[in-house]
Amino acid sequence: MRIGVLALQGDFALHAEALRRVGVEAVEVRKPAELEAVDGLIIPGGESTTLLKLMEAWGFVPALEKFHAQGRPIFGTCAGLIVLAREVLNPPQFSLGLIDVTVERNAYGRQRESFETEGEAALGREPVPIKMVFIRAPRIRRVGPAVTPLAGHRGECVMAREGSVLAAAFHPELTDDPAVHRYFAGMVEAAHPC
Amino acid sequence: MEIGTLRLKVGLAEMLKGGVIMDVTTAEQAKIAEDAGAVAVMALERVPADIRAQGGVARMASVRRIKEIMAAVTIPVMAKCRIGHFAEAQILEALGVDYIDESEVLTPADEQHHVDKFAFKVPFVCGARDLGEALRRIGEGAAMIRTKGEAGSGNIVEAVRHMRKVTGHIKRLTTLGPEELMHEAKELGAPYELVRWAAQHGRVPVPNFAAGGIATPADASLMMQLGAEAVFVGSGIFKSSDPERRAKAIVQATTHYKDPDVLARVSEELGEGEAMRGIDTSKLAEEELLQTRGW
């Protein structure tokens, strides 16, 4: 099993490290053809406007739609969540629409309002404690009926899953807590038993 | 819930990796930078090439200018304060600027001391010419290091020297025994704990970016291949003949820095557009250098 990390811009190296810590081979993906060799994909944190421009320039939009249609799992954090969402506010911008949530960019504030906290995530039979790091984070304003919230902060959903798509407003890759990456590796394993 | 932690400060720098941070002096330029794919903009009163040409005291940009730029874009906005000028830094923090560059490009306010960067919730980036300088700045709380290069010169040679000095020194540190590190810390003029950390991990303890003299897509690729994790482009964009196209080309080159075919293509797309003119930094007198500011 190999999981790709979209390496156009952002903290892709930290995601690759986090995957290796849970025993998964991680591959950097900079061109759509490189998606062929991976069973799942992480879209990292970064600047969503930059990511989108680079994705559009290289034909990643149709490639990821195909990737998703084939049932291969995708996990997005922060900018990755924005790119995957059905609808984006502040300002409205193009997104892939692969998970039925509405997100508002930078809605927790600027960098001085960035924060870290602890919470619980429904990643197994029992909720597990997780560390959550929010950096100029997007806020999930609406969760569609087919979407399962997996973690919350002050009563609001901050991590969610719809089928083969997982998305978080925070950055598990900035902590040494492997729980979320282990969960995503499990999703990829289940989608592609080998 | 915690704010202003080192993890959050370094975390924002992590998000900027693989990207291009562009100097802008107006809201209009900031918009052009954002549309071209910049990961952040640096709000300035004058770009370094103009500071160099016009002389005078270079200070923090005007508050009105910074606010206009912040209102124009959704990407992070950085701004520069003078070395040691913690009051300028306090103002920038109050404005909600996302990163503060305590920069040698501005006229220093203190000839001995840099800002105590731990006292702020907003993260700082500082320039460095060698490993000792980098670790001193991190010791003061900087969450990102960049090469100083020679700002406003359009000449990459100084940034290359600074990056090679830092990475070369780290390579050497990894070969030393634990008993040699205290002497090394003394020679470097850097905190022992940080020297030991760098020796154990084989890298600078915070993200390490390139700045100072980047003018072409090839310059950006060169710095990335030498170990930079992102690039700052100062005068190189808005002092060129076609800022929009050059900005886009440098963004592509920074992502695909390892791919010569992509670099050739984006360089070709610049057509007849000219890079900023540039200066031979070896012909500059000591007092004309910006990189020697900082202690």
Q: What tokens does B224 get?
A: 């990335």
Q: Is A60 on the interface with B (CB under 8 A)?
A: no
Total number of domains in chain A: 1
Q: Which residues does chain A have within 8 Å of residue B96's beta carbon, measured at their own beta carbons?
A: 109-112
| B7–A contact, CB cutoff 8 A | yes
Contact B76/A45, CB-based, under 8 Å? no
Mean pLDDT of B219-238: 96
Question: Looking at residue A116, which CATH number applies to its domain?
Answer: 3.40.50.880
Among residues B9, B17, B67, B80, which one is catalytic? B80
The whole domain housing A81 covers: 2-191
Residues 6+ apart with CB under 8 A from B98: A110, A111, A112, A136, B12, B40, B76, B77, B78, B122, B123
Query: At residue B67, what is the residue type?
Result: K
Q: State the nearest Cα–Cα gap between B98 and chain A, in angstroms.
A: 5
Per the CB < 8 Å rule, is B74 touching A9? no
CA atoms within 13 A on the CB side of B181: 17
> What is the structure's pLDDT at B245?
95
Residue A97 near residue A144, CB atoms below 8 Å: no
Q: Which residues of chain A have pLDDT under 70?
A: 193-194
Complex ipTM tops 0.90:
yes
Q: Write down the number of H helices and E strands in chain B.
A: 13, 9
Per-residue pLDDT of B127-184, as tens digits, reads 999 999 999 999 999 999 999 999 999 999 999 999 999 999 999 999 999 999 999 9
- Residue B40 near residue B16, CB atoms below 8 Å: yes
- Give dist(CA A167, CA A21) in Å, integer: 20
Q: Given this model, what pLDDT does residue B287 score?
A: 87
State the pLDDT at residue A8. 98
Question: Cα(B92)–Cα(B87) distance, rounded to whole angstroms?
Answer: 9
What does the pLDDT average to over B231-257? 95
Percent of chain A having pLDDT more than 90?
97
What integer pLDDT is reported at residue B277 of this predicted model? 86
